[in-house]
Structure 1
Amino acid sequence: MLYKHILLAIDDSPISYAAIAHAEKLAIALNCKVTVTSVIAVDPFKGVDFYKVAPAVTQYLMEAEQNVQNRLKDVQETLIHHGVSVVETKIVRELPPATGILEAADELNADLIVMGSHGRTGFKKFFLGSVAQEVLSISPLPVLIIKSVNELE
């Protein structure tokens, strides 16, 4: 199958940069569109007394939004500079990461999801969960999981 639209899900981890490199090579080889997305997760202060933390919540969300916008813009510019013809960005807000990624893929009619996996195993995976594993197990689309930060050849 030839892909026409890659949804590239990133965060600020080193493994995301490996996923970016893989998506770039695929997009150039297949001449397909890339939408770079990042999820601003569900409020980390949820369940805490709102009136005591309202200023902290507001500051956190403003900083998270700005960081995500900057990261997506940088990746977009890099991909375009390297030869990807169409690169768009999308911020997903207030959803758990896996849900946000899957909803974005559906909304944008992507036909491939590319993302990194931190490679947690055993107790860490059980305790911390795995966004990549959840996306992989639920997605009706093909999912390319990048597990290594080694350079592409």
Structure 2
Amino acid sequence: MYQRILVPTDGSEITAKAVASAISLAKLSGASLLTISVKEPFPYSAISEMQPVPPQEFYDAQERIANDRVKAVLEAASAAGVACEGSTVEALHPWEAILDLAKDKGCDLIVMASHGRRGMAALLIGSETSRVLTHSPLPVLVIK
């Protein structure tokens, strides 16, 4: 069925459901799992003296948070006996980083969480999941 499943993580409660589903599916199909946490780039402004956080402090915090998110998925997969590999990447558009990793690693399924925004919030804010759905050549399983 599936051989390599990618599950992005942002550390949210709904993402934990997607991770659990991806682990179960990987275990059932004998697939390996990959996980990714996307870090935000430093928000440079025209007036650099007005930055609330120094760039290195920002990068260090982003790296720590992303690594913690990936570590949680790696530990959950390991506890279930599923092989898992994790990575972090900095990207302006997380959906692009997710699709790039899926392509580079030869994934055949992406499992993502739906954050359940509806109405104007969904229209204005958008969703990384809907962008992945729109642009992915691979099947995408959306967990609510």
Q: Partners of 1:53 and 1:122 in 2: how far apart?
A: 34
| Identity value in percent | 34
**1:105-152: per-residue Cα shift (whole Å, max 9, x none)?**
1111111001101011111011111110000011000001111xxxxx
Counterpart in the other structure of 1:37? 36
Q: Describe the shift of the 1:54–1:120 C-alpha distance in structure 2 as closer, same or farther (beyond 3 A).
A: closer
Kindly state the Cα deviation for residue 54 of structure 1 after the two structures are TM-superposed: 8.0
Counterpart in the other structure of 2:8? 9
**8 Å CA contact retained: 2:45, 2:51:** no
Count of residue pairs the alignment pairs up: 144
What residue identity is the alignment partner of 1:23? A
Kindly state the Cα deviation for residue 73 of structure 1 after the two structures are TM-superposed: 1.4
Q: Describe the shift of the 1:30–1:123 C-alpha distance in structure 2 as closer, same or farther (beyond 3 A).
A: same
RMSD: 1.5
Q: Partners of 1:33 and 1:12 in 2: how far apart?
A: 20
Q: Partners of 1:47 and 1:71 in 2: how far apart?
A: 28
Counterpart in the other structure of 1:78? 76
1:46 to 2:44 alignment: yes
TM superposition outliers: structure 1 runs of 4+ over 4 Å: none
Task: Structure 2: state its 5+ residue gaps.
Answer: none
The match for 1:64 among 54, 62, 65 is: 62
1:109 to 2:117 alignment: no
Task: Structure 1: state its 5+ residue gaps.
Answer: 148-153
Q: Partners of 1:126 and 1:92 in 2: how far apart?
A: 27
**1:30-53: per-residue Cα shift (whole Å, max 9, x none)?**
01110111111233x234423432
**8 Å CA contact retained: 1:92, 1:104:** no
Kindly state the Cα deviation for residue 20 of structure 1 after the two structures are TM-superposed: 0.7
**8 Å CA contact retained: 1:42, 1:96:** no
Q: Partners of 1:57 and 1:31 in 2: how far apart?
A: 42
TM-score (norm 1): 0.87
Q: Secondary structure at the match of 1:91?
A: strand
Q: Partners of 2:63 and 2:115 in 1: how far apart?
A: 23
What residue identity is the alignment partner of 2:134? S
